[in-house]
Amino acid sequence: MAERIIIIGGGPTGCGAARRLTQLGHGNWHLYERAPAFGGLAGSITDDVGFTWDIGGHVIFSHFAEFDAFVDEMLADERLEHERESWIRTKSTWVPYPFQNNIRYLPPDALLECLMGLVEVHDEAPSTANFAEFIRSTFGRGIAAHFMEPYNFKVWATDPESMSADWIAERVSVVDLERVLRNVITGRDDAAWGPNNTFRFPLHGGTGEIYRRFGATIPEHATLNAEVIEIDTTKRIVRLADSTTDAFDTLISTMPLDQLAKRLTPKRTDLVEAASRLRWNSALVVGLGIERPIDNGRCWMYFPEDNCPFYRTTNFSVYSPNNVPGGDVARTHSLMCETAFADGPSDIKPRPKDVVSETIDGAINAGLLTDDDRRRIVDTFVIEVPQAYPVPTLERDAALGVLQPELEALGILSRGRFGAWRYEVGNMDHSFIQGVRAVDHALQHAHDEALLTWT
């Protein structure tokens, strides 16, 4: 009989695994998703007022042809193409992203401090002892103080000194001093860095539409509202919250690693202990529907200062007019604001007391809204994300080096943003491909170490 594969989770990784199984004609598998819809952290919600919101800011770009083909297959021509227009708000001005290439927009004293800092570290080899030292030794004291340090604390809700520098790669634009000086002297904007300088977005339904459409193609292989609460590694069965069970030869799990370790039977105290060393942040996504047309073309914006709680906002109605009721962007626009906080093992950055009112005040402080816009807010919607980003701490890789090999020996491939716990390969495309390669690993013994390493 063909090997039985169980998939836990219907987000990008679970969908990648399911699509690969379908492509291979392997019929002995089933997917369990605890939510009522596919998408996971890439899901979307349309609220009672008619606004659509993503679970955090997402754009569709890719490093992999397989993911491009998947998106093309799901959306066909029902998608929009955008050129990124991304900005940083600081010193009461807008600076094009990436910050370090466009510091000419800063006031003279801040600009001088950034330039002097860059000159001071120009001939130094960047330190990789931790993320804080990497920032200071790469960008200098000015850029560190005005953007990198405050922004990264806001987004990670973690002390950068406890974070590794090994995850950075294409996530952080580093510095070319000659390029920065040329931009300052010639007044040149330099905003094209990064893999997402162009991106796609679904015409309808938000990012989650991709995964909803895929889920509709596999009804006989998927069960929604089905939470796996126990994994018996001796009997090789999963037990669901409704007490039903299903057997597996290989389990592809996308649930967070810390939760997975606690659900194993017989109990593995070594894996629970290793997982306890993993850290994460949580987030509150506040959607604001404003009854007036938007007056700019910005896609998303970063906010390092403490005059607002959020680290990033998205002009969500710019992504698709159908993100507002009736597609009427001549009347209404939507703003999606993300605020991170430390949850679980750390209280270094606590949860906001009243995130909606703080977000509205912050949007006014940061120049996104005017005080008069308060009366134009026709919708507020809050999405809580208990685990938003897996934090790449200094202890992470050692913990993964214990967890992943032991899980694989038990027939469990833990993949995805929180299943692999590797933020640097946690984009939608990376996560989708982790699912594809997990299936190849299980059925064809093809190794996926090119994407994931545990030590």
Residue ranges covered by each domain of the chain:
5-43+65-76+205-278+393-444, 97-186, 279-391
Q: Please name the fold of domain 279-391.
A: Polyamine Oxidase; Chain A, domain 2 (3.90.660)
Q: Which residue has the tokens 């905003």?
A: 191
pLDDT band for 447, please (50, 70, 90 cuts).
Answer: low
pLDDT of 290-330, one tens digit each? 999 999 989 999 999 999 999 999 999 999 999 999 999 99
Calculate mean pLDDT across residues 27-33.
Answer: 98
DSSP 121-169: HTTSPPP-SSHHHHHHHHHHHHHIIIIIHHHHHHHH-S-GGGB-STT-G
pLDDT of residue 343: 74
Mean pLDDT of the chain: 93
Q: Please give the Cα distance from 453 to 382 (Å, whole number).
A: 36
For the chain, the distance separating the N- and C-terminal CA atoms, rounded to the nearest angstrom, is 35
Calculate mean pLDDT across residues 172-190.
Answer: 76
Q: Are strands 5-8 and 250-253 parallel, antiparallel or unpaired?
A: parallel
For the chain, what is the total number of helices (H) and then of strands (E)? 13, 20
What are the angstrom distances between the C-alpha of 283 and each of 131, 160, 386? 21, 18, 7
Q: Which residue has the tokens 């998947």?
A: 70
Q: Give the range among 168-172, 403-407, 440-444 with minimum mean pLDDT.
A: 168-172
> Helices (DSSP H) in 293-427: which residue ranges?
316-319, 355-365, 396-409
Q: Please give the Cα distance from 305 to 121 (Å, whole number).
A: 24
- Both tokens of residue 210? 């991709």
Tell which CATH architecture fits domain 5-43+65-76+205-278+393-444: 3-Layer(bba) Sandwich (3.50)
Task: For residue 73, give the 3-state DSSP assignment.
Answer: helix
Q: Please give the Cα distance from 282 to 284 (Å, whole number).
A: 7
Burial of 315 (0-12, 13-18, 19+ CB in 10 A): buried
pLDDT band for 455, please (50, 70, 90 cuts).
Answer: very low
pLDDT of 205-218, one tens digit each? 999 999 999 999 99
pLDDT of 336-363, one tens digit each? 999 999 976 567 899 999 999 999 999 9
pLDDT of residue 93: 96
Answer yes or no: are the C-beta atoms of 339 and 157 closer than 8 Å.
no
